[in-house]
Structure 1
């Protein structure tokens, strides 16, 4: 990770207690960053323990990104403990299943509060520290479903699509003040949250067959992209999206039966 040196930089990762967030927090720490692991669950302490056991520096900060007061308090605690943020990774999120014809307004609002408004709240709170220094990098975790609707998943796809635009607006407004903003869109990633899906007979094989790279992604695959975007190596990259999906979204045409053309 020396090529992506983040030594002496403070990185904040929301939803850092498990899955993709945990992978990102560990990746940033391996590159030398001091990591504030934000989560509602004290299970995030496992992430901190993993980082410190590898010789890194990390601190658990309790935070509910849907609560402005909680976000403000977390920003203050992180600042006091580690110093001003240089990197923010907006990762905390969840999916609430539901078809749009029956989805309750409360479920719609709750999902957007976490997957969109929470990103904005954290960008404001930790971005203020970056703007004061005149430098910083924000990476938002969206999804390939930001561009390809995921049916029966409530507000998930609309929220992720909005995250992509939020990032672009932050990039253009804050770029002249030294702060970059980019998006990473994961594809099929196996995490504790999705493990039950992959445990269903036949699902792993069917999904893997849809990915040109030939495998399902892991949190470290997302972490690698995030660490790059957070580093000075990406200094001239802002307002961009990186799709990390093993080629999944580029294989759509190959799902159409074509007698005589299909590979034997």
Structure 2
């Protein structure tokens, strides 16, 4: 992707969950564009190694910070350190999240609260505290990683779907209240994408084949598909998008009717009966 077209050179970009597979991908692609990065994660070893890797490979300035996004004081300190180092913040990419599988009737309150704290309260704290700085600057952009499961329930992952639905509304709330201050907020919503979190789903080729048939583009997405969208949403090229939910799903959201079987298959049925129903 053309660096000059996106205009991310020297942008100060905060990435939460930077040590995870998806976060690491975003950091590499942003660094390749010349952005200056603040890496936020719980693992000191992971983000220190990543910071060194990004600096050595791309020659960009990187600030690694060990932060629990559910701790208000730690997030506030991260804002202070970011401004002390870079004097501003241009973009925040909210990536940190966890996923737990359980039938709803068996989901413990402890696990519910854990996912709520990380997936929603963490997004709120990071957004609020960095958002205050953006309001002062009169510019800033948020890109939140949500999921199509925020709209269509991911069965047996009730806390995950519910918290991500909250992220969608939080993002819209931010856009509605902070747009007047030059602050944008949008969600990127992947579905059927191979990520470190979902890699196990595709160990069986039949599973991948079956899932691919549900997608209009007839393939499973990859990290590039998500990252390319995140980079666009972080850039000024998307400057008039605010409060949007961008589905990165290969078109699965338009395939509902196609999932309903017809004799011989839907395409063949249409061919065989194309002249049967004239108005």
Distance 1:144 1:128, change over 3 A: same
Stretch of structure 1 that moved more, 19-28 or 40-49? 40-49
The aligned counterpart of 1:2 is: 4
Which whole-Å CA distance do the structure 1 matches of 2:108 and 2:265 have between them?
Answer: 45
Shift of 1:168: 0.6
Tell me which residue corresponds to 1:73: 77
TM-score (norm 1): 0.94
Deviates more, 1:134-143 or 1:100-109: 100-109
Distance 1:248 1:49 in 2: 38
Give 4+ residue runs of structure 1 displaced > 6 Å after superposition: none
Are 1:48 and 2:51 matched, yes or no? yes
Q: Which residue of 2 aligns with 1:162?
A: 166
Per-residue CA deviation, residues 79-118 of structure 1 (Å, 9 max, x unaligned), is 2223321101111001111222121111111111111110
Deviation at 1:201, TM superposition (A): 4.9
> Which residue of structure 2 aligns with residue 82 of structure 1?
86
1:1-264 equivalences in 2 (<5 Å): 1-41=3-43, 42-52=45-55, 53-260=57-264, 262-263=266-267
The Cα offsets for residues 17-36 of structure 1, whole Å up to 9 and x where unpaired, read as 12221222222222221011
Q: CA RMSD in A?
A: 1.6
Indicate if the aligned counterparts of 1:12 and 1:89 stay in contact, CA closer than 8 A: yes
- Distance in 1 of aligned mates of 2:112 and 2:65: 27
Structure 1: tracts of 5 or more residues without a match: none
Query: What is the SS of the residue equivalent to 1:151?
Result: coil
TM-score (norm 2): 0.89
Q: Which has the higher contact order (CA 8 A, sep 6+)?
A: 1
| Structure 1 position 129, deviation (Å) | 1.5
For 2:209 and 2:62, how far apart are their aligned partners in 1? 37
Shift of 1:261: 5.0
* Count of aligned pairs: 264
CA distance in 1, matches of 2:58, 2:165: 36
Distance in structure 2 (CA, Å) of the matches to 1:263 and 1:234: 37
Assess if the C-alpha contact under 8 Å between 1:20 and 1:220 holds in 2.
no
Q: How far off is 1:50 after superposition?
A: 4.0
Which structure has the larger Rg? Answer: 2
Per the TM alignment, residue 68 of structure 1 is displaced from its structure 2 partner at its CA by 1.4
| Secondary structure of the corresponding residue to residue 183 of structure 1 | strand
Greater Cα offset, 156-165 or 209-218: 209-218
1:233 aligned counterpart, secondary structure: helix
21-30 vs 125-134, which deviates more?
21-30
